[in-house]
Structure 1
Amino acid sequence: MTPPKKEGDGHMPETSAPSSAVSSRLQVIKKRADFLRANHARRQATKGFILQARRRNDGEASAPDTTRIGYTCSKRVGNAVARNRAKRRLRAIAQQVLSAQGRAGWDYVLIGRAEHTADLPFERLLSDLEFALNRVHAPKKQADPS
């Protein structure tokens, strides 16, 4: 077996595929405590899923320039096959929408809904996530002083 050739040998140097900024910005939430913190934050329900979002504090361990995303589907969604399908669809819409419109320093949790997450048209789920993000990031309305 011969060792790999170097650049000057007339062979093309091995280059790895350029890593997109998206993949380095989106991290998956895995700890229960992070899911519980998101549960007490802002939320927006749509027909296909529920979005929970919270801005992380400065002292938290994760990098401030990353967007974290978590996925969950309870047994109400269905058996393991149905839950896994729903989570695959949630991951797909998050990759498309949150990579472009998610905010750095925020945690998002997508919760699947029974009979809807797995059955709605994919374009509807995409538009629902865009709608939910706009609502979650909209400034809070002030109470009228009069």
Structure 2
Amino acid sequence: MQVLSKRSEFLAAARARRQGSKGMMVQGRNRGDGDGIRVGFTCSKKVGNAVARNRAKRRLREVARLNLAEHGLPGWDYVLIGRAKETANRPFEDLQGDFLYALKKIHR
């Protein structure tokens, strides 16, 4: 699993499919090359101060680490976006369920 780092990669995912859930927003894009899974994480200042944003991103990273290898598709880019007051405070099992629900909707 590779991590997205360039703004152009995030913008390309933003133009593709997206699915919101209570705990996060997930954007997915089929690159078409079948060359591994790439993932990016972001939280705006609406989530809170730097401590709150970092906590939300840590939780998103862990959800992706546990689930993308099994449920993600090769050749896809995924961007996980944290939600204000939800990503950091939602129970972890519910956050995982939100992520799996969003993946199913994106892959249709």
Per the normalisation by structure 1, the TM-score is 0.72
> Greater helix percent: which structure?
2
Separation of aligned partners in 2, 1:35 and 1:65:
17
Q: Deviations over 1:37-85 (max 9, x none)?
A: 0000000000100000000044xxxxx3310000000000000000000
Alignment of 1:71-82 (within 5 A): 71-82=41-52
Asked which structure has the greater CA Rg, the reply is 1
> Greater strand percent: which structure?
2
Separation of aligned partners in 1, 2:78 and 2:94:
19
Aligned to 1:36: 11
Q: Deviations over 1:87-125 (max 9, x none)?
A: 000000000111111000000000000000000000000
Separation of aligned partners in 2, 1:75 and 1:57:
33
Higher RCO, 1 vs 2 (CA within 8 Å, ≥6 residues apart): 2
Q: Does 1:135 align with 2:105?
A: yes
- Consecutive unaligned residues of structure 2, counting only runs of 5 or more, are none
Separation of aligned partners in 1, 2:69 and 2:93:
16
Aligned to 1:100: 70
Matched position secondary structure for 1:47: coil
Matched position secondary structure for 2:5: coil
Alignment of 1:61-72 (within 5 A): 64-72=34-42
Q: Deviations over 1:22-47 (max 9, x none)?
A: xxxx1000000000000000000001
Deviating 4+ runs (over 4 angstroms): none
Per the normalisation by structure 2, the TM-score is 0.97
Aligned length, in residue pairs: 108
